[in-house]
Structure 1
Amino acid sequence: MRNFIIILCLLFVQFNYGQEIATLKYKGGGDWYSNPTALPNLISFSNQNIKTKISSQVKEVAPDDPEIFDFPYIYMTGHGNVFFSENDVENLREYLLSGGFLHIDDNYGLDEYIHKELEKIFPDKKLEELPASHPIFSSYFKFPNGLPKIHEHDGKPAQAFGIYEGDRLLLLYTYESDLGNGWEDKNIHNDPEEVRQKALKMGANILFYIFTK
Structure 2
Amino acid sequence: MSRAMRSVVLLVAGLAVASSPLLAQSRRYREPRVRSETVDFDELNTSYDGRFTFVRLRYQSLEGFSGGGGYIRGDLKWDHDYPRAERNFVKILDELTAIGPYLRGGNILTVDDPELFKYPVAYLVEAGFWTLTPDEAESLRDYLLKGGFLIFDDFAGRQWFNFQERMRDVLPNGRLVELDASHPIFHSFFDIEALGHVHPYYGVKSVFYGIFEDNDPSKRLMVVVNYNNDIGESWEWSDMGFIPIELSNEAYKLGVNYIVYGMTH
Q: What's the TM-score once normalised by structure 1's chain length?
A: 0.85
Helix, strand or coil for the counterpart of 2:189?
A: coil
Correspondence 1:183 to 2:235: yes
Structure 1 residue aligned with 2:77, among 3, 13, 31?
31
CA distance 1:98–1:147, change in 2 (3 Å): farther
Q: How far apart, in 1, do the equivalents of 2:206 and 2:241 lie?
A: 18
Distance 2:196 2:109 in 1: 27
Q: Report the Cα offset of residue 158 of structure 1.
A: 1.1
Alpha-carbon displacement from aligned partner over 1:56-100 (angstroms, at most 9, x marks no partner): 241000011111111111110127521110110010000000011
Provide Cα deviations, 1:178-212, integer angstroms capped at 9, x if missing partner: 11111113366711112111111111111111112
Shift of 1:126: 1.4
Whether 1:170 aligns to 2:222 is yes
Corresponding position: 1:22 with 2:70: no
Of residues 51, 67, 90 in structure 2, which corresponds to 1:43? 90
1:113-124 mapped onto 2 (5 Å cutoff): 113-124=162-173
**RMSD of the alignment, in Å?**
2.1
What amino acid sits opposite 1:34 in the alignment? H
Amino acid at match of 1:35: D
Question: In the alignment, what sits opposite 1:210?
Answer: 262
Q: What is the alpha-carbon distance in structure 1 between the residues aligned to residue 187 and residue 147 of structure 2?
A: 21
Select 1:52's aligned residue among 85, 88, 99. 99
Partner of 1:101: 149
Looking at structure 1, the residues matched to 54 and 119 of structure 2 have their Cα atoms a distance apart, in angstroms, of 5
Residue identity matched to 1:60: I
| One of 132, 136, 150 as aligned partner of 1:84 | 132
1:71 aligned partner: 119
SS in 2 for 1:172: strand
For normalisation by structure 2, the TM-score amounts to: 0.69
Matched residue SS, 1:174: strand
Could you tell me which residue of structure 1 aligns to residue 41 of structure 2? none
- Residues 188 and 87 of structure 1, relative CA distance in 2, 3 Å threshold: farther
CA apart distance, 1:149: 2.8
Q: Where does structure 2 lack aligned partners over 5 or more consecutive residues?
A: 1-47, 64-75
Taking the TM superposition and a 5 Å limit, the aligned residue runs for 1:103-182 are: 103-108=151-156, 110-146=159-195, 148-153=197-202, 155-166=203-214, 167-182=219-234
Q: 1:18: Cα distance to partner?
A: 2.1
**How many residues are treated as equivalent by the alignment?**
198
1:42, distance to aligned residue in structure 2 (A): 1.1
